[in-house]
Structure formats: C-alpha cells, structure tokens
Amino acid sequence: MFPKLERKKVFRDPLYGYIYVTEAVISDLIDTKEFQRLRRIRQLSGVSMVFHGAEHSRFSHSLGVYSLALNVLEEVDILKQKLSEYEQIVYLASALLHDVGHGPYSHAFEHVFKVRHEKSTALIITGNTEIHEVLNRYDAHLAADIASVILKTGKFPIIEQLISSQLDVDRMDYLERDAFHTGAAYGRLDKDRIIRMLTIVDNQVVFKEGAVHAIENYLMSRYHMYWQVYYHPVARSYEVMLESIYKRILDLIKSHQLDDEYADYLKIIIENGFEENAYFELDDYYVNGLIKRFSHCDDLILSELCNEFLKRKLFKYISVNTNQEQIFKDIIDRNHLTAYEYKIDYISQATYLVDEFDIAVSKILILSKDGELKTLDQISPIIRGLSTSGIKSDQKLYYRDKTHA
C-alpha cells in the first residue's frame, strides 16, 4: 500500500483550476531537486522570442501532464480494474517525470550532443539522484519500472500508450498549455469528451466512436499549432543559431581549444556522456550565462554567434522547393558560409507530420458502435483526406547574412 498524504496538496493552475496531489510519493518527487530544475527550463525555447507570453516552464507542463493522467484514472473505470495499485503509481509517476531528462533548448541540445531526452530521463530516474532515492523509499522496483515506461520496453503497454502515443496525456497538456500562453486561437481541446470515450480493448488504448469529432479537432489543432507556433520561422531561426553555438562549443571542447571553467558541466557531458551532477546544472540560466560569457571569448566564430544571438540578429531564411537546391548552394557560396552559419531545415514528410498524420493517425484506434476496432482514418473522411492528399511541407535555408554584417 502506498501511503497517502495526511492533507492533500493543491496547486493552483491557470488551465485546470486546481491540481491535486494525494500520494506521498508524488509529493516527494515534486520536491526533488531534479524535478524543481524543470522550473528553469522554458517549455518552448525559442518560441517565446516570437510569442512573448510563452514563458512557461517544463515544470508547469509536467505538473499538467500528471494532473491529466490522474484525471484519466479517475474518469475511466476500466483503468482502475486493469491497473493494480502499484501500476497506478507507476503510471502517475511516469506522467510526472516524463520530461525530467530534457536539456536547455532541448531540441538543439539533443541534436548536437546526441542525447535523447527519454534516455536521460531514464538515467535520472535510475541514477544517483534524489528522484531515485525517493522512489526507492517507497518500493525497490519502482525506479526501474518507471524507466521502462519512459523507454517503452513494452512491460506496461497500457501505461506506455497513455503517456506517449498519438493521443496521450503529454500532448493533450502541451497543446492546450502552449496555446493558452502563446494566445493562439487554436488548441482548445474537448479533453473531457476524449477522456470519457477512452477505453481498453486487448491491452490497447482505444477510443469509442463518440470521440471521433473531438479527435479530428485535436489533430487539426495540433496541425495548426505546429505551423503557427512550433514551426514559426523566427523561432526556428533562434533554434538554428543555438544549434550552431552548441556545435561550435562541442568542436572547441573536443579539440581542446576551449578552456573556461564555466563550460565544465558541458564538457563532462561531452566527454563522459550523461552524468547526474553535471546534467543537473544544465538549464536555461546556465546556457544563457554561457552565451553572454562567450560573446567576449577569443574564438571569433563562437563570439560572433553569441553576440548576434544576444542582439537578436537572427539567421535569415528563405523557402525553396525541394528541386531548387541550387539556390541554397548559391547563397552558401556567395556568403562563404561555414558549417556553423547555415542550416537546411526540412519541415516536411521526413519530420513530424507524416509521422503524425500519415502513419500515426492510422494508429489511433476507434471502437465503432458495432463493436469493431478500426483505425481513425477508416472512420474519418477528414483524416483520410489529410493522409492521401499529402501534407504541407516546407524547406527553408537558415543562414547568416554577411551582406549586412
């Protein structure tokens, strides 16, 4: 039996009103330094430079995902039958902790330092950390089992799908939360209905047919949030520059040309891979401090990148169709761009969207009124239309425009 808090804890949330915590283990996890670190990492990195309201942290989002997970557990009777008390704790803790492995400006960070946040999350959960200590205090298997959910080993298939699939508590929280803070007109979901229609068939999370409109709406909101917010070219440019800065630091450290104690935490990650104490220090404050510091450093490439980043002289961008790559080459040649000064960014079928619409959507399973399991695209002409007609794609060159420099 997992102990309850004597008095339930309440967090005031701008989206959900109140978030409740009754399990002692959840409360203790929230209080760990690794979870508190998420307060210092903005959820949307560069997007907040375009949408000034989007200054919320991964801490807020993580609490929100936990809250939705609890909500699902309370609303869906069949879940309480399918999941043992132990599994319910695995589920709630996984929801809470799913993002603890994120680095600062996470996408660029992962890309350059070859760190997958799922893996870092699992390592924090099972490593030499306060989180691990808390989990052990309650049950010796808990840390390993939560890590297995994060890594999707298949041990807890229902929990894995609830936490991470085409339609999960993670995505439902971030779409609404990001829409709320950016002020985007889209992103309001009919979560109540989606959750009420959720059920389990053959160890699979499926949705009753009554949820189809709500799911169509969810997918469209997601589509619009990607194109209006997450893929906003100015936000992308910001991230591309960060990637260049990260890359230059990486190369300098590897070639022993950067000797600044302040960069030690990054050095440890680069040289040894994941290390708990170093990782703990990596947050937005650290990276922003680094950029300020390196704007005065000796390496010209790095100092210029940092300077322009600080002054928001972002990389320029142009859209070019896939068959016009010569245009890209010309710009690169004309500007004498080094590898740190441009990036070709495909936002297309190779990235989120096919993933999400072509392949993945077929994976959302609908329990039709006549009792059959169907894929969403079999039921919904809208989604079928989206899958067959091809999805908007885009290819942009982001580059340092030296003509103005």
SS3 helix, strand, coil % of the chain, rounded to 5? 60, 10, 30
User: Shortest Cβ distance from residue 37 to a copy of itself (Å)?
Assistant: 10
Residue with smaller CB distance to a copy of itself, 87 or 209? 209
404 contributes a contact to a copy of itself by CB under 8 A: no
12 contributes a contact to a copy of itself by CB under 8 A: yes
384 contributes a contact to a copy of itself by CB under 8 A: yes
Is residue 199 classed as helix, strand or coil in its secondary structure?
strand
Contact 229, 47 (CB under 8 A): yes
181 contributes a contact to a copy of itself by CB under 8 A: yes
The span of 134-142, 180-188, 295-303, 333-341 binding a copy of itself (CB under 8 A) equals 180-188
Residue ranges in 90-109 that form contacts with a copy of itself under rule CB under 8 A: none
- Could you give the residue ranges of the DSSP H alpha helices within 139-274? 142-150, 157-163, 169-182, 191-197, 212-225, 233-254, 264-272
Q: By CB under 8 A, name the one of 80, 254, 312, 329 that touches a copy of itself.
A: 312
User: Shortest Cβ distance from residue 289 to a copy of itself (Å)?
Assistant: 5
- Measured between alpha carbons, how far is 235 from 230 in angstroms, rounded to an integer? 7
Q: By CB under 8 A, name the one of 84, 85, 137, 183 that touches a copy of itself.
A: 183
Q: By CB under 8 A, name the one of 188, 254, 329, 334 that touches a copy of itself.
A: 188
36 contributes a contact to a copy of itself by CB under 8 A: yes
Q: By rule CB under 8 A, what string of x and - marks binding of each residue 337-376 to a copy of itself?
A: ----------------------------------------
- Measured between alpha carbons, how far is 305 from 244 in angstroms, rounded to an integer? 8
85 contributes a contact to a copy of itself by CB under 8 A: no
Is residue 326 classed as helix, strand or coil in its secondary structure?
helix
255 contributes a contact to a copy of itself by CB under 8 A: no
- Measured between alpha carbons, how far is 327 from 331 in angstroms, rounded to an integer? 6
Q: By CB under 8 A, name the one of 206, 386, 395, 397 that touches a copy of itself.
A: 386
394 contributes a contact to a copy of itself by CB under 8 A: no
User: Shortest Cβ distance from residue 109 to a copy of itself (Å)?
Assistant: 17
**Beta-carbon contacts of residue 203 (< 8 Å; ≥ 6 apart):** 157, 158
Distances in whole angstroms, Cα of residue 27 to Cα of each of 19, 90, 93, 380 = 12, 14, 10, 41
Lookup: tokens for 53: 């309201």
**Beta-carbon contacts of residue 41 (< 8 Å; ≥ 6 apart):** 57, 58, 59, 102, 103, 104, 106, 283, 284
Q: By CB under 8 A, name the one of 213, 329, 334, 402 that touches a copy of itself.
A: 213
Length of the chain: 405
Of 283, 287, 253, 258, the closest CA to residue 268 belongs to 253
The span of 115-123, 199-207, 217-225, 250-258 binding a copy of itself (CB under 8 A) equals 217-225
Of 258, 176, 264, the closest CA to residue 221 belongs to 176
Is residue 234 classed as helix, strand or coil in its secondary structure?
helix
Residue with smaller CB distance to a copy of itself, 164 or 387? 387
Instruction: Note the residues at the interface with a copy of itself (CB under 8 A).
Output: 10-15, 17-18, 31, 33, 36, 39-40, 48-49, 51-53, 55-57, 59-60, 63, 180-186, 188-190, 192-193, 196, 213-214, 216-217, 220, 223-224, 227-228, 281, 284-286, 288-289, 292, 310-312, 380-382, 384-392
